[in-house]
Amino acid sequence: MSPARRARSFGVAVLPGLAVAAAVAAAATFVAALHGGPQLLYALFFGVALNFLAHHPATKAGVEFGARSVLRLGVGLLGARITAEQVVALGWPTALVVLLAVASTIVLALLVGRALGIGRARSVLAGGAVAICGASAALAISAVLPREKDGERFTLMVVVAVTVLSTVAMVLYPLVVRALGLAPALGGLFLGGTIHDVAQVVGAGYTIDHATGDIATVVKLFRVALLALVVAAVAWLFRAERAQADPPVDGRKPARQPLLPWFLWLFVALVAFNSAWPMPGELTQGLSLASRTCLVLAIAALGIKTSFQQLARLGWRPIALIVAETLWLALFVLAALFVMR
């Protein structure tokens, strides 16, 4: 089959399902713009309502493509938001607090997950989502973990939990900053170092004042920059399990997967390029919008693949794990602030 015919055949196969996911993403975006609220959560819930299309022959391939390939592209494009200059501007005390907060949250996730009977891979997924950047981190880490039964449903459960908790934090954490009388530098560190999603960090920071919002955003982007390191570490730690999880095809072993997936190389390349040759603001905003669009579409596709009944089967333990991590992260950063004052 010629490349043109192969591309045409692929397009015909994925277009219907991808169009459904795109329609769900557009509806979620419209509702979020009209009424406020978390765009990703709307996309997930609207997608779940169309779960009956997950296995339909006309839409299955497109939904799978949206949940995997479009997801990876969205994570890779996150790198356009970050520059080395932003990281350096934080100063080493702030950077150290963020590094320790991220590392300790992931370690705590492993310990609590083990106590709750949650597997190592799922604990790392939940820990990375809370420690770094919420839904985006959950999706990125899940892409390099070995495939397992109910793995996608667990990922969606993590996305739901971190998005809800991030929205709650956006409302409550500014009250904490005001009650403690934190200066913009410390208040921005608290908000940017604890709230899960970038959008909620921006919303919380600028409700206090412009200076706090600016610092909170930069601190949050530093956490996002750590996504590349964490995903690379997770890919290396679980490389053997990933190889065993891939079933043989026609009696042959599947091709060996690269240690670092292509979307992580894209992430690093964009950070390096933007650091060496700063992109125009319009291009950066365009790539950020493209990343957000891909992630919303991917969440919609993952939602279509899942039902509320399937999510309920996962039980209370994943929620307890994520709540414990969220409380730890907030308390850790608060303790560090009192040391820094």
Classify each residue of 175-195 as buried b or exposed e, where b means 16 or more C-beta atoms within 10 Å of its C-beta.
ebbeeeebebbbbbbbbbbbb
Residue 12: per-residue pLDDT: 74
Structure token digits, residue 155: 């990922």
Q: Tell whether 251 is covered by a domain.
A: no
Q: Tell whether 4 is covered by a domain.
A: no
Using DSSP, how many helices (H) and how many strands (E) does the chain show?
17, 0
Q: Residue 14 class from Cβ within 10 Å (0-12 exposed, 13-18 middle, 19+ buried)?
A: buried
Q: Tell whether 159 is covered by a domain.
A: yes
Residue 2: per-residue pLDDT: 63
What parts of the chain have a pLDDT lower than 70?
1-4, 7, 10, 243, 245-260, 308-311, 314
Q: Indicate the number of domains in the chain.
A: 1
Count CB atoms within 10 A of the CB of residue 142.
25
Residue 249: per-residue pLDDT: 45
Report how far residue 302's alpha carbon sits from residue 32's, in angstroms, rounded to the nearest whole number.
19
Q: Tell whether 287 is covered by a domain.
A: yes
Q: What range does the domain containing 330 cover?
A: 15-244+257-340
User: Would you say 212 and 191 are in contact if contact means Cβ atoms under 8 Å apart?
Assistant: yes
Note the pLDDT tens digit of each residue in 257-315.
Answer: 555 677 778 888 888 888 888 888 888 889 888 988 888 898 888 888 877 666 677 67
Q: Tell whether 300 is covered by a domain.
A: yes
Report how far residue 276's alpha carbon sits from residue 83's, in angstroms, rounded to the nearest whole number.
8
Note the pLDDT tens digit of each residue in 247-266.
Answer: 554 455 444 555 567 777 88
Residue 254: per-residue pLDDT: 46
Q: Tell whether 282 is covered by a domain.
A: yes
Q: Tell whether 325 is covered by a domain.
A: yes
Q: Tell whether 8 is covered by a domain.
A: no
User: Would you say 226 and 102 are in contact if contact means Cβ atoms under 8 Å apart?
Assistant: yes
pTM, entire model? 0.76
